[in-house]
Structure 1
Amino acid sequence: MGWKTLDDMDLAGKRVLIRVDINVPVQDGRVSDATRIERIAPTVRDIIAKGGKPMLLAHFGRPKGKVVLDLSLRITLPALEQALGCSVGFVETLDAAEVMTDEARAADVLLLENIRFHPGEEANDPELAARLAGLGDVYCNDAFSAAHRAHASTAGVARHLPSCAGRLMQAELEALEAALGKPVRPVMAVVGGSKVSTKLDLLGNLVARVDTLVIGGGMANTFLAAQGIDVGKSLCEHDMADTARAIMAKATTQGCEIILPEDVVVAREFAAHAAHETVPATECPADAMILDAGPLTVARIATALDNARTLIWNGPLGAFELPPFDAATRAAAQKAAERSRAGALISVAGGGDTVSALNQAGATADFTYISTAGGAFLEWMEGKTLPGVAALEN
């Protein structure tokens, strides 16, 4: 790893700028889900324990460089104080932060108002980055979920100060390094979701880096159709057939086995508990749509999981939000959880639908690591350099 952690930093008596992601849902004037706030607590507590004075930098919503009172971070203060177990002082403007009195600094932790109120934030303006750096002695990035953005508070400020990863960022980077950087082989990836077009870079990167790739969801229909298989009225990007064939050819060249559905669960309507049947993948009725992988496919995935040592998972295998079309995702997730629980599999998963599907399957707790980073997780899997991580590298 080319970056430092909190363990590498002398923080005694230092002002520590911490970039965090507390972009939390709000309902009726209060935080309705404090998960993201709770996940930054270990970093903040460690900094305080090491004698540092934390100031949180964060965004909230998309104010697009303007002050939008409805997007003030002030609303997060009660949830922050509860999660951190200490007092949190609110700093309304950057100007105020630059001339703070000792009285204003008395709180255990300081929170600067929504950094995206500044037009220079998303532009990674050097002047804004320098002003932010002037507020601290050390920079700590604990917002992997924003690390794919080259913003002033994620990349710019790190160029001015001794920098390190916070505990949440450290855990994320270590998990991803274990999954794709220097993995224990064989490596298996499960990629689902609706469209091939949104995951082209991901698939292209994975076939060169994993030993087995399971393709599920609506994406699998596109790959089946590219092989001349009639997928009826299924969700399918027929215009991506050449691309799908190119990915399959690349996989063959790279020695990556692709697992596509060999049997499928079909229905005539996209609805929970719709009348359905299981047929070979080559025999989807013309008036039906494929909504899940069948038991033969699940058994093949289970065998692949028995042989794998590392698993990366992004996306469901079927229409998991509509029972019983969650069966393949549920079965595969529970198998992966069982192998992980036994210490036989390093399992890393991420992406919004993925986390929901694994939660639904009751598998989340047994996975080695669950990323909530969304776009940053996907870009890492695509093999892209993340500006917020690159800025931390020695």
Structure 2
Amino acid sequence: MSFRTLDGLTLAGKRVLLRADLNVPLHDGRITDRTRLERLTPTIRELAAKGARVIVCSHFGRPKGKPDPAFSLAPVAAALGEVLGRPVAFAADCIGPAAQAAVAALAPGGVLVLENTRFHAGEEANDPAFAQALADLADLYVNDAFSAAHRAHASTAAVAHLLPAYAGRLMQRELEALAAALDHPARPLAAIVGGAKVSTKLALLGNLITRVNALVIAGAMANTFLAANGIAIGSSLEEPSMHDAARQIAAAAKAAGCEIILPIDAVTATEFRANPPTQMVAIDAVAPGTLILDLGPASVARLVEKLAGWKTLVWNGPLGAFETPPFDAATTALARAVAERTAAGQLLSVAGGGDTLAALHHAGVAEQFSYLSTAGGAFLEWLEGKTLPGVAALG
């Protein structure tokens, strides 16, 4: 994976169109999580310090290709200014006279946020005319939005072919972390994949079994694999229609030399709610009418033992129903073990996906992983081995 970075660029006086991800959670006009803004600041500060005119563009929500005040980036621009500790200008449109005037008024080192790119249908259509209107505002293009890199939209793909295009520092850091984890990892390399449905992660599993040495399948997904092997799983969530696919994945993994690791015991209950009566049972002793809701202690101990021999770990998806106690126990225990080995320099650990990040924060160890990807869909498509348009355009 090759891409151009900001290293060595002369930027004084240049107009830089910076594709960011300002799609932050907003409630009653207030941003509830500024993580994406904070991660963006190193690139903005570097560009501004080098005398560039920084023109930030982004999508926000799903306004369906037309202006909608509910999806204006104005409050996000204000919050970005607070995070940066400096004034940030705002343009009422991302192209046309309003954008042109705002760019013309921008001094070297200044920062401007353009209005939501999705206020124009040309954004999601990857329309050449809309991309050209964006390109006309700038001298060069920097993409710092890996989280939108899986979309072939005008501001992530088309415009990158109209201007000299570079990866921002956040994009660079993400790509380097992902490359170290899957493209040229220290081995043994393992992956943990959790979640509810095999059907939504077929491509991901199919790619991983050809790349990793060990694949841990957990969550309700594991129930489908267990049932496909003839193991009774009570009333647990599973996908009967995916039994053949599960057996095919297992066979392909064996042929590729990839060890698939499934639960050997489980925490079960007769109902799914917080703190019900539970039982720890061997995986072949799940009673009729009961639900598998978490890995049992023997499964966790086995994973911690395996972990001691792994050099690289990619994690997507919790091990159990972690949002509901006590079914967070296995995810929390393994997360802390991963964090301990990472802190000791014995493991490169990369995790991504909304539920995964929430689980790691819940365990109190999110900051101790080597890298956390907030990219969501782009992270999953990377795990699937797909080419991401926004990344390919920077090569």
TM-score, normalised via structure 1 length = 0.97
Distance apart, 1:103 and its partner CA: 7.0
Tell me which residue corresponds to 1:32.
32
Tell me which residue corresponds to 2:48.
48
Contact 1:268 1:287 (8 Å CA) reproduced: yes
Q: Please say which of residues 374-383 and 64-73 is displaced more in the overlay.
A: 64-73
Contact 1:86 1:108 (8 Å CA) reproduced: no
Compared CA separation, residues 163 and 35, structure 1 to 2 (3 A): same
- Report the 3-state secondary structure (helix = DSSP H, G, I; strand = E; otherwise coil) of the residue aligned with 1:121: helix
Tell me which residue corresponds to 2:101.
100
Deviations 1:313-345 (A, max 9, x none): 000001111111111111111111010000000
Equivalenced residue count is: 393
- Report the 3-state secondary structure (helix = DSSP H, G, I; strand = E; otherwise coil) of the residue aligned with 1:111: strand
Contact 1:231 1:286 (8 Å CA) reproduced: yes
Select 1:364's aligned residue among 344, 363, 366: 366
Tell me which residue corresponds to 2:2.
2
Q: Please say which of residues 156-165 and 82-91 is displaced more in the overlay.
A: 82-91
Distance apart, 1:141 and its partner CA: 0.3
Tell me which residue corresponds to 1:68.
68
Distance apart, 1:110 and its partner CA: 0.9
Contact 1:144 1:373 (8 Å CA) reproduced: yes
What is the percent sequence identity of the aligned residues?
A: 59
Contact 2:17 2:138 (8 Å CA) reproduced: yes
Q: How does 1:177-216 map to 2 (within 5 A)?
A: 177-216=179-218
Tell me which residue corresponds to 1:221.
223
Distance apart, 1:29 and its partner CA: 2.1
Tell me which residue corresponds to 1:335.
337
Q: Which amino acid aligns with 1:75?
A: P
Deviations 1:214-255 (A, max 9, x none): 010000000000000111100010110000000000000000
Tell me which residue corresponds to 1:88.
88
CA distance in 2, matches of 1:244, 1:8: 49
Q: Which amino acid aligns with 2:203?
A: D
Q: Which amino acid aligns with 2:207?
A: N
Select 1:286's aligned residue among 274, 285, 288: 288
Contact 2:53 2:106 (8 Å CA) reproduced: no
Contact 2:52 2:110 (8 Å CA) reproduced: no
Q: Please say which of residues 106-115 and 369-378 is displaced more in the overlay.
A: 106-115
- Report the 3-state secondary structure (helix = DSSP H, G, I; strand = E; otherwise coil) of the residue aligned with 1:46: helix
Q: How does 1:151-300 map to 2 (within 5 A)?
A: 151-300=153-302
Structure 1 residue 377 corresponds to structure 2 residue 379: yes
Q: Which amino acid aligns with 1:151?
A: H
CA distance in 1, matches of 2:170, 2:252: 35
- Report the 3-state secondary structure (helix = DSSP H, G, I; strand = E; otherwise coil) of the residue aligned with 1:6: coil
CA distance in 2, matches of 1:208, 1:365: 29
Q: Which amino acid aligns with 2:357?
A: V
Q: Please say which of residues 180-189 and 71-80 is displaced more in the overlay.
A: 71-80
Compared CA separation, residues 227 and 78, structure 1 to 2 (3 A): same
CA distance in 1, matches of 2:98, 2:259: 55
CA distance in 2, matches of 1:194, 1:24: 26
CA distance in 2, matches of 1:212, 1:366: 22
CA distance in 2, matches of 1:243, 1:191: 16
- Report the 3-state secondary structure (helix = DSSP H, G, I; strand = E; otherwise coil) of the residue aligned with 2:364: coil
CA distance in 2, matches of 1:38, 1:300: 38
Contact 2:91 2:99 (8 Å CA) reproduced: no
- Report the 3-state secondary structure (helix = DSSP H, G, I; strand = E; otherwise coil) of the residue aligned with 1:153: coil
CA distance in 2, matches of 1:377, 1:387: 13
CA distance in 2, matches of 1:132, 1:354: 35
CA distance in 1, matches of 2:290, 2:28: 43
Q: Please say which of residues 341-350 and 166-175 is displaced more in the overlay.
A: 166-175
Tell me which residue corresponds to 2:12.
12
Distance apart, 1:105 and its partner CA: 2.1
Runs (5+) with no aligned partner, structure 2: none
CA distance in 2, matches of 1:388, 1:349: 21
CA distance in 2, matches of 1:332, 1:31: 31
Contact 1:97 1:135 (8 Å CA) reproduced: no
CA distance in 1, matches of 2:264, 2:8: 51
Contact 1:212 1:259 (8 Å CA) reproduced: yes
Q: Which amino acid aligns with 1:53?
A: R
Distance apart, 1:190 and its partner CA: 0.5
Q: Which amino acid aligns with 1:294?
A: G
Q: Please say which of residues 1-10 and 171-180 is displaced more in the overlay.
A: 1-10
Tell me which residue corresponds to 2:314.
312
Q: Please say which of residues 22-31 and 59-68 is displaced more in the overlay.
A: 22-31
